[in-house]
Copies of this chain bind each other. A is one copy, B any other.
């Protein structure tokens, strides 16, 4: 599936600052960047880099004495998601899992899995199959947490959301991650562009490590999973923030868009169709299944 995505960010710079952006679509087995353009105005030196093998692409720059900053990213991205059948979704014992998945078992700033253990096992412990455990987590969040714009802030964590029961996509993701980690299933934060998200914005959901691969889940159910374009992954939103500011800068505009590329036809993948199948955004052979 081919998408055209774009993000436009504008800032007032109060004080010379360093900024780190994570808005580029990932380069990964399931995602090919056909075209992209990243511009900064005024013309500032910037550096693009990746931190680890996860593939998230960052840009950092120093504002110097500039007073205003405009960033623009646009890309055409070919994505292919893989529908993984039930018999490949077995639990991977901690003893066997890819060692790179292990850090995603540990608690993080917004996902205090260590404090949610008893609740997670009480609620989901009886579901034997690990994939269905995650589905049960996603369903529970969807039924018990209300999506309510403005109800949370940048300090809200899974420990709050599990009780306060409102939030936005970021909070839904954090709670999903925390509950899965509490169940010994590695889980990581996913930030991305999302087709059919209304109103258009950056989106967040989460991925779990099952059967030796990362599968994507979204407790908000706001968008079809095969319309996601991955930007970043990390332990939680602290790792995959659209922008991290070291200094004093004020956001004045954030404009996001995600469209089908010309000539494409999109069939949303619905949970019902999937049945007990999962969705991986890292389709191994880049053969788009949709």
Please give the residue numbers on chain A whose beta carbons come within 8 Å of chain B beta carbons, in ascending order. Answer: 18, 20, 47, 49-52, 58, 60-62, 93-95, 99-100, 102-103, 105-109, 111-112, 114-116, 118-119, 122, 144, 146, 154-155, 159, 162-166, 184, 235, 238-239, 244, 246
Q: Which residues of chain B are within 8 angstroms of A107 by Cβ–Cβ distance?
A: 109, 238
A95-B62 CB under 8 A given contacts A103-B239, A115-B155, A246-B105: yes
On chain B, the residues within 8 Å of A60 by CB distance are: 94-95
Instruction: Report whether B51 and A100 are in contact in the complex, using a CB–CB cutoff of 8 Å.
Output: yes
Q: How far is the CA of A105 from the CA of B184 in the complex (A)?
A: 27
Contact B165 A162 (CB under 8 A): no
User: Which residues in B have their C-beta under 8 angstroms from that of A155?
Assistant: 114-115
What's the Cα separation between A20 and B94 when bound, in Å?
9
Question: How many angstroms between the C-alpha atoms of A110 and B112 in the bound complex?
Answer: 9
* Chain B residues, Cβ within 8 Å of A165: 118-119, 122
Task: Name the distance in Å between A32's Cβ and chain B's nearest Cβ.
Answer: 24
Given A118-B164, A118-B166, 16 more A-B residue pairs with CB atoms under 8 Å apart are A18-B93, A18-B94, A49-B99, A51-B102, A52-B52, A94-B246, A106-B239, A107-B109, A108-B108, A109-B109, A109-B111, A114-B155, A122-B144, A122-B165, A162-B163, A163-B163
**What residues of B have a CB within 8 angstroms of the CB of A61 in the complex?**
95
Q: What residues of chain B lie closer than 8 Å to A109, measured between beta carbons? A: 106-109, 111-112, 114
> Quick one: copies of this chain in the complex?
4
Chain B residues whose CB sits within 8 angstroms of the CB of A164 once the complex forms: 115, 118-119
Task: Assess the A246–B184 pair: CB atoms within 8 A.
Answer: yes
Residues A154 and B184 in contact, CB atoms below 8 Å apart = no
Cβ of A124 to closest chain B Cβ, rounded Å: 13
A-B contact pairs, 14 of them (CB 8 A): A51-B99, A51-B100, A60-B95, A61-B95, A62-B93, A106-B109, A106-B239, A107-B109, A108-B238, A109-B114, A114-B155, A115-B163, A119-B165, A163-B163
Interface of chain A, helix or strand or loop or mixed?
mixed
Closest to A50 in B: B99
Q: Please, how many angstroms separate the alpha-carbon atoms of A95 and B144 in the complex?
A: 31
Which residues does chain B contribute within 8 Å of A115, judged by CB atoms? 155, 163-164
Give bound CA distance, A105 to B164, whole Å: 19
Residues of B within 8 A of A246 (CB): 94, 105, 184
- Shortest C-beta distance, A174 to chain B (Å), equals 12
Docked complex Cα distance between A61 and B52 (Å): 26
Docked CA distance A184–B106 (Å): 24
* Closest 9 pairs (CB-CB, A-B): A18-B94, A106-B238, A62-B95, A107-B109, A118-B165, A94-B246, A18-B95, A184-B246, A49-B99
